[in-house]
Amino acid sequence: MSAPRKTVHWILAHPQESSVNARLFREGVEFLSRDHDVHVSDLYRQGFDPVLGAADLGAPGGREGNVVDLMGAAHAEGTVPSEVREEQRKLEAADLVVLQFPLWWYGPPAILKGWFDRVLTNGFAYGPTDPETGLPLRYGEGLLAGRRALVIVTAGEDDRSIGTRGISGDIDALMFPLTHGTLWYTGIEPLDLHVVHDVDGFGAADVERESARLRTRLAGIDDETPTSPYRRLRDGEYHGTRALRADLLPGRTDLGIHRRVRD
């Protein structure tokens, strides 16, 4: 008996249908659809509203209180806006989440940030405390645990200027708020970044090369694990203010300390 088809939720945040991103998106979705069930969220095409508003807080006119608590109540009451619930439905069904976007002002486009704000709500993506440990179910234990994510990011700069000593900073550090503060926080395990450099100067041959490289990556995606996974909150390596224990990697303060190097 063949293994069941896995499900992918591919989220694209780019406004131009003629862009390199759009080409990679179409080819990637087509490639994975051969042996996966692929659901897409093309945020610009579908006109997703990134602005969190009164309807997200559980009442047409809004209501007073802490935003996080109100969104949790709206989720519990089943009153989240229909477009948000549809995105949550696709995310719930996914084994793999693909987030694809251009690097703008050192981060994702605003429409994707707004998608996080509205979709990854209290009670859906995070929320309760584990009664056994007394710790919140976050950083590896969020309510979306069991899923993995592939982040595909295109950059106009080369791999040196956006590398470990580059003037633009290291791409892994730039993506830390997304990979650790958003994905890992909610329990989704991020795979190694898939970065496409120098996109601003691409010609036809460059697009073909990157399309082939993406297909090669996707061909093995079901068996892929991150090179250096993040540490889990529950494992006892953080305490008190949730700072990493002083005996672990003493003297280091870079973001890499939150990764666990595989043996």
CA distance 249 to 174: 21
Tell me the two tokens of residue 27: 């080819």
Question: Does a structural domain hold residue 58?
Answer: yes
pLDDT at 91 over 90: yes
- Beta strand pairing status for 243-244 and 238-239? antiparallel
User: By mean pLDDT, which of 127-136, 164-173, 205-214 is the weakest?
Assistant: 127-136
| Tally of domains in the chain | 1
Rounded to whole angstroms, the Cα distance separating 225 from 48 reads: 31
- Asked if residue 30 belongs to a domain, the reply is yes
pLDDT band for position 158 (cuts 50, 70, 90): confident
Q: Three-state SS for 194? A: strand
Q: Specify the pLDDT at position 253.
A: 92
Domain membership of residue 242 (yes or no) is: no
* pLDDT reading at 133 higher than 70: yes
**What pLDDT, on the 0 to 100 scale, is given for residue 60?**
64
The span from the CA of 159 to the CA of 153, in Å, is 12
- The pLDDT of residue 263 is above 60: no
Name the pTM for this structure: 0.93
What is the reported pLDDT for 240?
66
pLDDT in tens, 12-51: 999 999 899 999 999 999 999 999 999 999 999 999 999 9
Residue 157 has pLDDT above 80, yes or no: no
Evaluate if residue 132 carries a pLDDT over 70: yes
Give me the pLDDT at residue 33, please.
96
Beta-carbon contacts of 177 under 8 Å, excluding residues fewer than 6 positions away, are 107
Residue 24 · residue 15 · CB < 8 Å = no
What percentage of the chain reaches a pLDDT higher than 90?
71
Q: Which residues span the domain enclosing 196? A: 6-226
Percentage of the residues of the chain whose pLDDT score is greater than 70: 97
In a domain, 68, yes or no: yes
Is residue 215, in this structure, part of any structural domain at all?
A: yes
pLDDT greater than 90 at residue 151: yes
Q: Which residues pair with 36 in a beta bridge?
A: 6
pLDDT at 70 over 70: yes
Kindly state whether residue 261 falls inside one of the protein's structural domains: no
CATH number at residue 69: 3.40.50.360
Q: In this predicted structure, which of 209-213, 221-225, 236-240 has the lowest mean pLDDT?
A: 236-240
Between these two residues, 158 and 8, which has the higher pLDDT value? 8
- Whether residue 21 lies inside any domain: the answer is yes
Structure tokens at 60: 């047409």
Average pLDDT over residues 148-164: 88
Residue 254 included in any domain: no
Contact yes or no for 228/260 (Cβ under 8 A)? yes
> CA-CA distance, 53 to 11, in Å (whole number)?
22
Report whether pLDDT(1) > 70: no
Close Cβ partners of 161 (under 8 Å, ≥ 6 residues apart): 167, 168
